[in-house]
Amino acid sequence: MSKYDTYFLMSSKDVAGYVQERLSFFPEKEDLECKEIGDGNLNYVFRLVSKKTGKSVIVKQAGESLRIDKTMHLPTDRGKIESSILKLQRKFSPGLVPEVFLYDPIMCALIMEDMIGHTMMRTGLINHEIYPQFAQDISTFLVNSLLFTSDVLMDHKEKKNHVKEFINPDLCEITEDLVYTEPYNDQNNRNDIYEPNLEFVKEQLYEDKKLHLEVAKLKFEFMNDAQSLLHGDLHTGSIFINKKHTFVFDPEFAFYGPMGYDIGNVIANLFFAWCNGDATIEDKNKKKEFCNWILDTIVKTVDLFNEKFKKAFIENVKDTMAKTDGFMEYYLQKSLQGTAGCAGLESIRRIAGMAKVKDITSIKDEKKRIRAERILITLGKDYIMNRESFLDGNSYKKAIEKAIAKFS
Amino acid sequence: MSKYDTYFLMSSKDVAGYVQERLSFFPEKEDLECKEIGDGNLNYVFRLVSKKTGKSVIVKQAGESLRIDKTMHLPTDRGKIESSILKLQRKFSPGLVPEVFLYDPIMCALIMEDMIGHTMMRTGLINHEIYPQFAQDISTFLVNSLLFTSDVLMDHKEKKNHVKEFINPDLCEITEDLVYTEPYNDQNNRNDIYEPNLEFVKEQLYEDKKLHLEVAKLKFEFMNDAQSLLHGDLHTGSIFINKKHTFVFDPEFAFYGPMGYDIGNVIANLFFAWCNGDATIEDKNKKKEFCNWILDTIVKTVDLFNEKFKKAFIENVKDTMAKTDGFMEYYLQKSLQGTAGCAGLESIRRIAGMAKVKDITSIKDEKKRIRAERILITLGKDYIMNRESFLDGNSYKKAIEKAIAKFS
């Protein structure tokens, strides 16, 4: 009998004993130190380090409710899906996804590779770090994880078995509510809006019926279009990074959905960092350097995605009908339209919904925060309403410059 | 021990003993008579009747391979899905779906309500019977089974559990191959084309690259768009009918797909009967009466579908965003476009693919059969290429008249 035979929510003092019991990773009597390092909404994340060798692992335990709202309950076995997904994504994008050592269905915990020397990307970006390798790495991850799990390349029966395995009703419900519904009306009491922008949000989001129609269309695409195995929550808090390398993890929202959802999330979250840099960097040159790097990275991410997508499609396409002239262009274009739509939804919901991002909430100057939020809402609407015209990096750059100019 | 403890393919002499062992439907020593009545490709269907009372049941047993191609193997447990689907469809369309008494996983058989006094609709139509109630009944069935299982009305989590339960890789593969791929090229050796139309098929189907592109788009919709719980094989062989009433059954191809697939199949199969009537009815008045009834029924089916769809949508819509002004119209229009596309695919594949329909193969006059097949291919292409313009019954009527005129 051990205390780890029944599920309980661990604190950092429980983790060393837990890992030593479950895994032969550290020597038996190693002196281990544990810290809680999570900042997500759903899980408790611990790093366990050997004081002697510096060797370390990560333990991620699922809680029974949202950390920011204890009334929202979730199934604790979601780590099982996460562990299968990480293995699958690691197969398609070797080197860009951490290794899972163990999934434990009793404690509802994953024990996995510690991404040593990597920082959570959102933290790095708020410190205005530049990551020159990011556009290359993330575009590879996106093409590999999305195109290779679609019917273009994957055997159709194998794909359907994946669709079945990774159906994720509870976590999809969170996205359907928080991203695709609540920011557009005040019928719930969970929206958390920065007071000085309350009127702006009402006018721009609650009263715009044309916007609601486009959001409704995107919501039904999200719920129905089983195109690719999505990460499902690909913001900069799900990425660990340094100057030379990127890790994508935390795919517990994964399910088969429209690929634009992942790509759009990356684009939107990059731009949150631009807003933070623009509002908080004092040094003019440093601000210019950081903000330009962000803009360039958005442009490069979209353009490299396009380029690598076409290359992978042409080299690997399996479905007979997908080989038809013009199909690749149609399929890519449709995915890019969904990308712009989802970039817009993410830009808006982090301002007008329940779950915020630090990039924005940490802007202390009221005027600057008001401006950042208005740029994001305006830009988000442009992405959604004109999504058919966002087909390359440059179209994003232009839209961003237009939105910035409006609030200068 | 009984001989029914292990799976074997029954012949009609085995069925009485089988039903008496499994079900207390008939009295113990009843004198029972059994006939094989199936004409499908996948199953063996028996009717078991009491000689004394006339009371009867249907036994449907799954074979291990396609009846028309013994090399194509199928899982024999597909009756389990069928039984769940029949129960679900009966809930949404009471009276229009037969009752299932038992699903037996050992013999892979369903024992179900005998649709007494009903004829297989294809057989009735080839005898040029008129069914005045059909457009009313089938439009009700279509709206209830399709709209009520979609995210517009169904709880999103319940719907996702249905998507998971009804994933159907093997039978979907048959459709993807036979409907969406093989009729458009000669890369397989399964296409069975009426010799005098071989050149016409090559020119009209194999060489039309623009057509291939549209078929490819529709194929990816079929594989990815988990909109509604489809019947999946809604031709006139899956319908039992009389002048006053309609039964829909045989949903073993069921899965979550785009609703246009079912509606389009009904429309295309009605028109096969028009082709048969036009080619084989000698009496001018009778021909006019039958063919006009078919045309009217196509028009009414589409228009009643539209009408009942809107009524059910407005009265029952649950999703907040789906209530947005304009969404119902968008959603209906998209479904109708898919409908025309699928009507086109079905029209074509029954001429240029592997699986034929008796309505056409029973036309003995060579010239008339050539004409019927060319009308169908021409019309099918029009449906596919111009699917965005088929939004009401009248647009179908016009397209049909145009195709007929071309070969007069």
For the record, the structure tokens of B7 come out as: 């799976």
> Looking at the partner chain, which of A163, A173, A324 has a beta carbon nearest the beta carbon of B212?
A324
B327 in contact with A, Cβ within 8 Å: yes
| Residue B205 · residue B377 · CB < 8 Å | yes
Where does the pLDDT of residue B407 fall: very low under 50, low under 70, confident under 90, or very high at 90 and above? very high
pLDDT for residue B68: 62
Region B105-134 average pLDDT: 95
State how far the alpha carbon of A6 is from the alpha carbons of A18, A73, A78, in Å. Answer: 12, 19, 17
Region A251-266 average pLDDT: 96
Residues of B in contact with A319 (CB under 8 A): 219
pLDDT at A37 over 70: yes
> Looking at the partner chain, which of A173, A184, A217 has a beta carbon nearest the beta carbon of B157?
A173
A328 in contact with B, Cβ within 8 Å: no
- pLDDT tens profile A44-86: 999 999 999 999 999 999 887 766 666 767 777 778 888 999 9
| Residue A234 · residue A262 · CB < 8 Å | yes
- Taking the alpha carbons of B175, B177, B182, B188 in that order, is the dihedral positive or negative? negative
Where does the pLDDT of residue A408 fall: very low under 50, low under 70, confident under 90, or very high at 90 and above? confident
Cα Dmax for chain B: 65
Where does the pLDDT of residue B171 fall: very low under 50, low under 70, confident under 90, or very high at 90 and above? very high
Q: Which amino acid is at A262?
A: D
Residues of B in contact with A208 (CB under 8 A): none
Q: Which is nearest to A85 in space by CA: A252, A266, A234, A257?
A: A252
A149 in contact with B, Cβ within 8 Å: no
Buried b / exposed e across B39-57, counting CB within 10 Å, b at 16+?
A: ebbbbbbbbbbbeeeeebb
| Residue B96 · residue B331 · CB < 8 Å | no
d(C-alpha B314, C-alpha A92), whole Å = 45
pLDDT at A137 over 70: yes
A225 in contact with B, Cβ within 8 Å: yes
| Ramachandran angles phi, psi of A110, nearest 5° | -105, 140
Where does the pLDDT of residue B39 fall: very low under 50, low under 70, confident under 90, or very high at 90 and above? low
> Looking at the partner chain, which of A163, A169, A325 has a beta carbon nearest the beta carbon of B161?
A169
Region A207-231 average pLDDT: 98
For residue A169, the chain B residue with the least C-alpha distance is B157
B161–A330 C-beta distance less than 8 A: no
| Residue B222 · residue B261 · CB < 8 Å | yes
For the record, the structure tokens of B315 come out as: 């009265």
d(C-alpha B92, C-alpha A385), whole Å = 37
Region B18-33 average pLDDT: 94
A223 in contact with B, Cβ within 8 Å: yes
A213–B325 C-beta distance less than 8 A: yes
Q: Which amino acid is at B166?
A: F
State how far the alpha carbon of B183 is from the alpha carbons of A374, B190, B198, B207, B346, in Å. Answer: 53, 9, 12, 12, 10
Above pLDDT 90, what percent of chain A?
Answer: 89
Mean pLDDT over the full length of chain A: 95
- pLDDT tens profile A5-28: 999 999 999 999 999 999 999 999
Residues of B in contact with A331 (CB under 8 A): 220
For residue A165, the chain B residue with the least C-alpha distance is B164
Segment holding B34, helix H or strand E? strand B32-36
B154 vs chain A: nearest CA distance in angstroms? 12
pTM tops 0.80: yes
Q: How would you classify residue B116: left for phi > 0, otherwise alpha for psi between -120 and 50, otherwise beta?
A: beta
d(C-alpha A317, C-alpha A152), whole Å = 6
Q: Which is nearest to A309 in space by CA: A152, A143, A196?
A: A143
A187–B321 C-beta distance less than 8 A: no
A226–B181 C-beta distance less than 8 A: no
pLDDT at A40 over 80: no
Q: Chain centroid to CA B334: how far?
A: 20
Q: Which amino acid is at B360?
A: I
Lowest mean pLDDT among A106-120, A203-217, A259-273: A106-120
Residues of A in contact with B215 (CB under 8 A): 321, 324
Give the residue from B72, B173, B223, B230 with the most A CB atoms within 10 Å of its CB, the best one to mutate: B223
Q: What DSSP designation does A225 have? A: B
Instruction: Quickly count: other Cβ atoms within 10 Å of residue A302's Cβ.
Output: 27
d(C-alpha B258, C-alpha B221), whole Å = 7
- pLDDT tens profile A322-335: 999 999 999 999 99
d(C-alpha B339, C-alpha B361), whole Å = 25
Where does the pLDDT of residue A341 fall: very low under 50, low under 70, confident under 90, or very high at 90 and above? very high
Region A221-227 average pLDDT: 98
Query: What does the H/E/C string look like for B20-56?
Result: HHHCCCCCCCCCEEEEECCCCCCEEEEEEEECCCCCE
Where does the pLDDT of residue A269 fall: very low under 50, low under 70, confident under 90, or very high at 90 and above? very high
Give the residue from A155, A160, A335 with the most B CB atoms within 10 Å of its CB, the best one to mutate: A160
Burial class (CB in 10 A: 0-12, 13-18, 19+), B150: buried
d(C-alpha A194, C-alpha A353), whole Å = 10
B173 in contact with A, Cβ within 8 Å: yes
For the record, the structure tokens of B211 come out as: 């057509």
For residue B227, the chain A residue with the least C-alpha distance is A224
Region B319-326 average pLDDT: 98
Q: Which is nearest to A264 in space by CA: A380, A154, A164?
A: A380
Segment holding B69, helix H or strand E? strand B69-73
B163–A156 C-beta distance less than 8 A: no
d(C-alpha B359, C-alpha B234), whole Å = 16
A173–B321 C-beta distance less than 8 A: no
B156–A169 C-beta distance less than 8 A: yes
Region A175-192 average pLDDT: 94
Cα Dmax for chain A: 65
Give the residue from B327, B332, B345, B384 with the most A CB atoms within 10 Å of its CB, the best one to mutate: B327
B156–A172 C-beta distance less than 8 A: yes
Above pLDDT 70, what percent of chain A?
Answer: 97
| Residue B325 · residue A208 · CB < 8 Å | no
Buried b / exposed e across A20-44, counting CB within 10 Å, b at 16+?
A: bebeebbeeebebebeeebebbbbb
pLDDT at B40 over 70: no
Q: Which is nearest to B247 in space by CA: B397, B325, B353, B137?
A: B137
B284 in contact with A, Cβ within 8 Å: no
pLDDT at A305 over 70: yes
A331–B220 C-beta distance less than 8 A: yes
Q: Which amino acid is at A215?
A: V
- pLDDT tens profile B258-269: 999 999 999 999
pLDDT at B71 over 90: no
B226–A321 C-beta distance less than 8 A: no
Mean pLDDT over the full length of chain B: 95
pLDDT for residue B252: 87
At residue B33, the 3 state secondary structure works out as strand
Q: Which amino acid is at B242?
A: N
| Residue A63 · residue A76 · CB < 8 Å | yes
pLDDT at B67 over 90: no
B331 in contact with A, Cβ within 8 Å: yes
B156 in contact with A, Cβ within 8 Å: yes
| Ramachandran angles phi, psi of B406, nearest 5° | -65, -25
| Residue B171 · residue A286 · CB < 8 Å | no
For residue A212, the chain B residue with the least C-alpha distance is B324
Residues of A in contact with B217 (CB under 8 A): 327, 330
> Looking at the partner chain, which of B156, B172, B220 has a beta carbon nearest the beta carbon of A160?
B172
- In A180-219, the residues whose Cβ lies within 8 Å of chain B are 180-181, 184-185, 187, 209, 212-213, 215-217, 219
Query: What is the ipTM for the molecules in this complex?
Result: 0.93
pLDDT for residue B38: 77
- pLDDT tens profile B274-306: 999 999 999 999 999 999 999 999 999 999 999
pLDDT at A39 over 70: no
pLDDT for residue B46: 94
